[in-house]
Structure 1
Amino acid sequence: MPVQMGRLKSLRTLTTFVVGKSTGSTIDELGELSHLGGRISILKLNNVVDGRDALQANLKNKKDLKELELAWGSEDPDHSEKVRYVLDKLQPCMNLERLTIKLYGGTSFPNWLGDSALNKIKVMRLEGCHYCFELPPLGQLPTLKELFICNMKFLRTLGPELYGQPFQPFQSLERLEFKEMSKWEEWVPSGSGGPDFPRLQELILEKCPKLRGSLPCDLPCLKKLSVEGCGILHDRRATATTSTSTNLNYNSLQELKIEDGCQTGLLSLLEAKLLSQLMIRNFYDIQCLPNINHLQSLNLWNCPTLSSFPEDGLPTSLTSLDIYNCRRLEFLPHEMSAKLTSLDFLIIYNSCDSMRSFPLAIFPKLTTLTIGNCENLESLCLIEEEGAVENPSHLNQLTIFGCPNLTRLDFSRCDKLKSLPERIHTLTALQYLDIRNLPNLESIAEDGGLPPNLRYFTIYNCERLRASSSSVVDYCNWGLQALVSLEQFKIGGRGSDEILETLLKQQLLPTTLHTLSISLLSTLKSLDGKGLAQLTSLQELFIARCDSLEFLPGEALQHLTSLQELYISDCPSLQFLPEEGLPPSLSYLKIVRCSALEKRYQNKTGQDHWASISHIPCIEINDEVIIR
């Protein structure tokens, strides 16, 4: 800091003051800044040479200060008494609301730190105070709401010194966090007769590897409990010969997180009536989940031995399910999954090795689905099942990756789905892709094209796909021409007229195609002859319910030298088959409910017309079969 800071006597805001040692400002210069308010961080207190200078800082009379951070640059246990004297003389005004102490090197705290006269303090953080053997009586601070204690290497026991006397402790505390307490072994209750933390709502324990025994029994307002890296912590009541679990008062618990191998005794907390969120991570000794009531969110991460869900299934209230690295876990059987009618969010990653197919149509409220690295998954079906009351109409975000054996994707009636999974081309084993009745689908295969080994592809009733892919460039991005394995392409319904016309006109369909099926194209009047003629491997052509179709391009059909079967159904405007005739390779022709064609060909009238098809070995017109 600049020298002679103390001359700025009218200064009201100073967020950081770095104590100088041989140069710069010394801490006593703060004494002249009597109007300081708001927040201040006083750093490198290890540079204070004489503890009496700390007294001259006169923090006790700075009544406008609300937030104070006191930080040493390093701990120095060789000068513990000096360090304690400095902190003692830095006693702040009783109006202080937030206090942080970092890297304090003393072995004990000054008396003012737990003085009930500090009656406006709301938040306190003690970080890296390694050499303190015990905490001050923080339980006597009447307005304290949040307490964070981190990295106290030598603290082994929390007991009566923390709670203090004479008042009932922690009357206002709502959030309590202990982190990186490497030597902490025991948490002793106050013995006051009432709850030690009557208003505590959130308790977080992280990296306290030696903590043993039980947590506080009576936490009537606790809503969130997070235990991570406390490998030997367990509920000792769980091993008692006589159960006293009825004395456990966690009745308000809503969120429970257990991480890094904590003992299964903590799972007794799942009996809490209001528990709605459960997270279990890095848990090695759990083989099956107990029954859980009222749960809304379940997160299972890195549980290698977990093999099954509760026998009765998961609660119907579940809205979010996240499964990560649980490879032995057998996913819920169909009859159990069908009960999860409220499930909104689902992630399955590197899990459930036994899962071969996944019928997502049974999750009607699902909005977000991610499936990744499920190497044995073969089929994902989002088509409404027969007899289903509802369908997955809420799905709007879908991600699938790392599923090398996935061969089939079916989507139907996902009313809010706007795009297919990103990088769908990485699903190299995919052979079947069926997308139908997706009114808001806007894009497919934008970043790499369709899967390279696709064999069967269906588009049906995807009207917005036409609107968003109106340019030839967008259609080219699908990469259909490069799909040399594509055998069957079906297209129809709302919005498909323009898609088919563009694909044919720009010759974007692969020449290896074996089957082309066209249906319910209400505005289609003709098929582009140039695009049709290049399908030289086509063996089957289906045309159905195209009310406006007036003619077929005869010259183009003549180029289809591999065509064997032609089906024409419900095309009332089609009056003639091509005068040039149909390809000589054709072996079967079927005409159904095409009134003009029936009249012209059924009774073999009009010999010129009949001659154009008479070479076909089998002709079926409605129910009449003519075999030559």
Structure 2
Amino acid sequence: MRNIKGRLDISGLEDVQNIEAAKEANLKDKKYLNELSLEWVRDDSSQDGRVTDDGVLEGLQPHANLKKLHIKSYGGVSFPSWMSHLSNLTCITVEDCRNCEHLFPLDCQLPSLCKLTLQNCPKLQVLPADLPAVTELHINGCGELSALPRLPSICELKLHSCGVKMLLSLTTPCLISLQRLSIGRCDQLECCLEKVSLQDLTSLQELQIFRCPQLKSLGYGEGGLPTTLKSLNIDGCPNLKSMPTRLENLTSLVELSIVTQLPLFSQESALPTTIEVLKIFSCDNLKSLPKGMQSLTSLKKLVIHKCPQLHSLFSDDENNDYGLPTELNALEIHTCPNLNSLPKGMQSLTSFTKLVIHECPQLHYLFLDDGNNDHRLPFTFTTLDISAFPNLMSLPKWMQSLLPCLKELKIKDCPQLHSLFPDDENNDYGLPTKLNTLKIHTCPNLKSLPKGMQNLASLKNLMIRECPQLHSLFLDDENNDHRLPTTLVHLYIGAFPNLNSLPKGMQSLTSLNSLRINSCPQLFSLFPDDNNNEYGLPTTLVHLYIGGCENPKSLPKRMQNLTSLEYLSIWNCPEIAFLPEDGLPTTLRYLHISECPKLKERCQKNNGRDWPKIQHIPYIDCS
């Protein structure tokens, strides 16, 4: 073991009793070791370890060539003297060391250290005075730490759940090279950086402030935010009523995320035209977006979340001063209970490709008005994701022609949805032929999928979950109109309480790579007649997952014919008692069996009755 290379993880150090036992690991001579992780595993009821851990860690001195060191749940008060000799260390992580007061010896020199992470060390008081090479410093849950070292190279600083005293000690000179700053979970903080003029941080590109409920100001003076800022994220600061600068002056700003009552939109202030991503969260008084949104010519993504007073995106759809910018690519609206319409003219957004709407119960229709082009989506549209539509009963007419580029459709939590289309015999209804992914989740009254699914020549991914009224898997022996397309690659079937077997014709899915069957309590066998050649799985199958099916007593007989199968996972199928008589395919590389007590017993290594059938498989997990 002297020549061990790369990374070494040592856990369970709470069982090592003294320094002599620790020295037996002989880490000091392992000169090729680059990364070392040392962990004590203890719960609240165990001894704190402050007596024995000091000696154990002293005895685990690594070679001076070590590059990365991770120490977790060490119970000592201070770190050993050998820390001073690790001059090649580039990364140190110290986690859950609840008794530690001093991290490094006072004379410690760490000239190569680039990244330091301190997590949940509540008694830590002192850091070295100078960390000249550190570019990333992350501190979380170190409330007694009162000051930071000199950080002339710092680029990224994260201070979370830290004491106010440490934050107030920061000055502009020690942050002059800072590019990314995150401050969060500081309950008593009123002024973010009392001795720092944010405008003087001319390298700052990302600023995040979250969960500081008493915060009233971002910094001293009226200097404002630096124009170099590219990303600004403010979350959970209800007492922050204004920004220290006019946002339109932030000419480099690309992403803005605001979770507060800040007056983002007013006659006195506008947003910079450089912004590409705008996120508005929990603005209780926002009733509509302002005039002039079209001027945000770089805006690609707009996210609106939890704005209970939002009734429409714009107060006057007929006024040309209102509208979305033409370059918008994605619009996401979540949990806006009073939103009753989307704006007119969306069909003119020629770059628009993605619409996500979740929990907007007053939105009754899906933006495709048969008699009004103003309510249609653009032809370029590719992704539609809708959930929690209590009044949606079907998808609209003419989806094939109005959304010819639609590739992904997700529908979730629509209790009134009985069928995707009200009239399967009408050619005006149907899914676009370029559809690649269809996911339907938690639609308790959905009884069927539409006819003509076999014509969706681009469909590769199909997921149907928690649709209890859907009794069959769309493969009608007498009617080709109900078959699935042969292009299907991934099929997921979950929570089908009435499914008792897979249908005929599964072999025709000649592109199927992955099949997942989960939580089908009435599934007694994958196929009703294993001796009938019309039943069976396609030989192209690579991944097969079966779980949460309480009644199947066996796997299909002809499993050995699945000559492409590499991964087989069976979990929570307690009645499966044995593997097929002819065994499993020789191509199988991974077998996982869990919560199947009868099968697990037969597959025990060497002495299980089915062990000869699986001993050729490289990776077997029978837990």
Out of 292, 295, 307, which is 1:326 matched to?
307
Q: Are 2:182 and 1:204 equivalent residues in the alignment?
A: yes
The CA distance in 2 between the partners of 1:109 and 1:392, in whole Å, is: 59
Partner letter of residue 128 of structure 1? N
Please state whether the residue corresponding to 1:211 is helix, strand or coil.
coil
CA contact 2:69–2:91 (8 Å) conserved in 1 = yes
**Equivalent residue in structure 2 for 1:40, among 36, 40, 64:** 36
Per-residue deviation, residues 333-368 of structure 1 (Å, max 9, x unmatched): 234564411111111122161423554324322211
Report if aligned partners of 2:389, 2:413 keep a CA contact under 8 Å in 1: no
CA contact (8 A) 2:283 2:306 kept: yes
2:434: which partner in 1? 440
How many Å separate the matches in 2 of 1:12 and 1:236? 47
Shift of 1:446: 7.8
Q: Report the alpha carbon displacement of residue 97 of structure 1 after superposing the two structures with TM.
A: 0.7
Q: Which residue of 1 aligns with 2:235?
A: 259
Alignment partner of 1:154 is 2:144 = yes
Q: Does 1:404 align with 2:407?
A: no
Alpha carbons 1:287, 1:306 under 8 Å: kept: no
Q: Given the alignment, which residue of 127, 144, 164 partners 1:184?
A: 164
2:313 is the counterpart of 1:313: no
Tell me what 1:300 maps to: 280
Is 1:129 the equivalent of 2:121? yes
Q: Residue in 2 aligned with 1:91?
A: 84
Alpha-carbon distance, 1:23 to partner: 7.4
- The partner residue of 1:372 within 358, 361, 365 is 358
Residues 21 and 48, structure 1, Cα contact 8 Å, conserved in 2: no
The answer on whether the counterparts of 1:288 and 1:306 sit within 8 Å (CA) in structure 2 is no
3-state SS, counterpart of residue 80 of structure 2 = helix
**Aligned pairs (5 A) from 1:23-38:** 26-29=21-24, 33-36=28-31, 37-38=33-34
Residue 249 (structure 1) shift: 4.8
Cα offsets for 1:509-530 (capped at 9, x unmatched): xxxxxxxxxxxxxxxxxxxxxx
Q: In the alignment, what sits opposite 1:66?
A: 67
Match of 2:304, SS? strand
Distance 1:319 1:385 in 2: 29
AA aligned to 1:147 is L
Number of the residue aligned with 2:135: 145
Contact between 1:145 and 1:172, CA under 8 Å: does it hold in 2? yes
Displacement of 1:311 in angstroms is: 3.8
Structure 2: distance between partners of 1:38 and 1:150: 26
- Residue 623 of structure 1 is matched in structure 2 by none
Specify the alignment match of 2:331 in structure 1. Answer: 346
Contact 1:173 1:199 in 2 (8 A): yes
- Amino acid aligned to 1:355: N
Partner of 1:221: 203
Residues 107 and 63 of structure 1, relative CA distance in 2, 3 Å threshold: closer
Contact 1:423 1:448 in 2 (8 A): yes
Q: Deviations over 1:307-347 (max 9, x none)?
A: 34344336232111122221212433234564411111111
Relative to structure 2, which stretch is displaced further, 463-472 or 292-301?
463-472
Establish whether residue 107 from structure 1 lines up as the match of residue 101 from structure 2.
yes
8 Å CA contact 2:391–2:414 kept in 1: the answer is: no
Give yes or no for contact 2:84–2:110 (8 Å, CA) kept in 1: no
Q: 1:276 is matched with which residue?
A: 254
Kindly report which structure 2 residues correspond to 1:583-594, keeping only aligned pairs within 5 A, or say none. none
SS at match of 2:84: coil
Give the whole-Å Cα distance in 1 for the aligned partners of 2:125 and 2:19: 34
Go from structure 1 to structure 2 and tell me whether the alpha carbon gap of 1:203 and 1:367 turns closer, same or farther (over 3 Å shift): same
1:353-432 paired onto structure 2 within 5 Å: 353-359=338-344, 360-382=346-368, 392-405=378-391, 409=396, 411=399, 412-418=401-407, 421-422=410-411, 426-428=415-417
CA distance in 2, matches of 1:17, 1:275: 45
Q: Which residue of 1 aligns with 2:17?
A: 22
After TM superposition, give the deviation of residue 105 of structure 1 in Å: 1.9
In structure 1, distance between residues paired with 2:293 and 2:364: 24
Q: Deviations over 1:429-461 (max 9, x none)?
A: 99989669956357999889999899xxx99xx
Q: CA deviation at 1:398?
A: 0.8
Name which of structure 1's ranges 289-298 and 13-22 shifts more when overlaid on structure 2: 13-22
| SS in structure 2 at match of 1:26 | helix
CA 1:308–1:43: 2 relative to 1, 3 Å: same
Separation (CA, whole Å) in 2 of partners of 1:352 and 1:49: 58
Post-superposition Cα deviations, 1:55-107, rounded to whole Å, max 9, x if no partner, equal: 55544xx2321011233444x6xxxxxx22x4344434111111122315243
1:120 aligns with 2:105: no
CA–CA separation in structure 2 for the residues paired with 1:145 and 1:266: 31
Structure with higher helix content: 1
Mapped partners of 2:27, 2:257: distance in 1: 52
Aligned length: 433
Matched ranges for 1:238-249 at <5 A? 244-245=221-222, 247-249=223-225
Distance 1:229 1:474 in 2: 57
Q: CA separation in 2, counterparts of 1:66 and 1:231?
A: 39
Map 1:446-465 onto structure 2 (within 5 A): none
TM-aligned CA distance change 1:49 to 1:373, over 3 Å:
closer
What SS does structure 2 have at the residue aligned with 1:196? helix
Give the whole-Å Cα distance in 1 for the aligned partners of 2:81 and 2:371.
73
C-alpha spacing 1:70/1:288, structure 2 compared with 1 (3 Å) = same
Quick one: distance in 2 between partners of 1:466 and 1:189?
64
Partner of 1:39, secondary structure, is strand
Pair 1:250–1:25, CA change in 2 (3 A):
farther
Counterpart CA distance in 2 for 1:173 and 1:268 is 24
Contact (CA 8 Å) 1:306, 1:329: kept in 2 or not? Answer: yes
Deviates more, 1:266-275 or 1:48-57: 48-57
Would you say the 8 A contact 1:264–1:286 is kept in 2?
Answer: no
Deviation at 1:417, TM superposition (A): 0.7
Q: Does the CA-based 8 Å contact 1:146-1:175 persist in structure 2? A: yes
Distance in structure 2 (CA, Å) of the matches to 1:436 and 1:42: 59
Worse overlay, 367-376 or 98-107: 98-107
- Give deviations 1:569-624, integer Å, cap 9, x for gaps: xxxxxxxxxxxxxxxxxxxxxxxxxxxxxxxxxxxxxxxxxxxxxxxxxxxxxxxx
Once the two structures are TM-superposed, the CA of residue 379 in structure 1 deviates from its matched residue by: 3.0
Cα distance in 2 for residues equivalent to 1:443 and 1:149: 42
Tell me if structure 1 keeps the 8 A contact 2:286–2:310.
Answer: yes
* Cα separation, 2, equivalents of 1:287 and 1:144: 36
Per-residue deviation, residues 3-32 of structure 1 (Å, max 9, x unmatched): xxxxx5555566133544437963334556
Mind listing any 5+ residue stretches in structure 2 that lack a counterpart?
A: 41-47, 460-473, 485-623
Aligned 8 A contact 1:276 1:295 in 2: yes
Q: Find the residue that maps to 1:381 and give its secondary structure.
A: coil
Provide the aligned C-alpha RMSD in A: 4.5
Partners of 1:262 and 1:447 in 2: how far apart?
36
How far, CA to CA, are the matches of 1:375 and 1:297 in structure 2? 26
* Deviation of 1:190 (Å): 5.6
The alignment's TM-score, normalised by the length of structure 1, stands at 0.58
Shift in Å at residue 176 of structure 1?
1.2
Q: Residue type of the partner of 1:331?
A: S
